[in-house]
Amino acid sequence: MAGPIQLRFVQSATDESQLPSSPAEVTFVGRSNVGKSSVINALSGRKKLAHVSNTPGRTRLLNLFEVDAGKRTGSNQLGPTLVDLPGYGYAAAPGQMRGDWQRMIEGYLLERERLEMIVVLVDGAVGPTKLDTQMLGWLRGNDLPHTVVATKHDKVKSSLLDKRRNEVAERCDLERGDVVWVSAVKGTGIDRLRSLVRSWLS
Ligand code: GDP
């Protein structure tokens, strides 16, 4: 199935246990400002979705969307889902809150059944931060399936792109071809990411 991924907002939650069970799920995680809302909007071909998830408070919750709901017929059961996790490393958050976020995110990632893929967004314009590499180390330590997506491809000068691609892969301890590069602004790599998301959910 080609084209935009339809996303229907289902529910927000503070805890994994509050979410309905899903037959297959992909989740998006990354530090605040990495471009996560922009990528999710680009996948869905809509601008309004960010609006939904940026409703005050929602950015601190687990936000669950049903994928391509309108394209399935004859079933009341929840189809495959996409979860937008709160951005990590928000410097302005008080220590206690950071702890709560961490528990929410880690609890979700460890407990969620049928979590097929964790998409870890890193900022392609600045390269992976220490928090990003810590997150990758934690995912590997827990044997959780993950894919690195580098955002803001359009912000990297074309003369630097080759070098930056090597740097990002190296910092993430991956082969260069394993990192998916996207630009939400220009649409670069978005079709490829849509296909990957659909393949993980099928
Ligand atoms: P989030 O906090 O991870 O959800 O990040 P946002 O999607 O809100 O984006 C953070 C900032 O980066 C905003 O100012 C966006 O306009 C900008 N941004 C996001 N994606 C891109 C991109 O692909 N290219 C460029 N140039 N800017 C981007």
pLDDT tens-place string over residues 26-85: 999 999 889 999 999 999 998 766 554 555 556 778 999 999 887 766 667 899 999 999
Nearest-CA residue for ligand 1 atom 19 is 35
- Provide the 10 A C-beta neighbour count for residue 136: 20
Mean pLDDT by 10 residues, the chain (202 residues): 89 94 96 93 82 59 90 78 87 66 90 97 95 93 97 97 97 97 97 98 95
Looking at domain 7-201, which of 3.30.1280.10, 1.10.3210.50, 3.40.50.300, 1.10.3720.10 is its CATH number? Answer: 3.40.50.300
Report the alpha-carbon distance of residue 191 to residue 184 in Å, rounded: 11
Whole-angstrom distance between the N-terminal and C-terminal Cα of the chain?
Answer: 11
Per-residue pLDDT at 154: 98
**Domain residue ranges in the chain:** 7-201
Q: Dihedral angle at the C-alpha atoms of 9, 15, 16, 19, nearest 10 degrees?
A: -40
- Please give the distance, rounded to the nearest whole angstrom, from the Cα atom of residue 189 to the centre of ligand 1: 15
Nearest-CA residue for ligand 1 atom 22 is 152
What is the atom index within ligand 1 of the atom nearest the CA of 188?
23
Q: Which of 38, 54, 55, 182 to mutate to test the pocket of ligand 1 (most atoms within 8 A of CB)?
A: 38
What is the atom index within ligand 1 of the atom nearest the CA of 41?
7
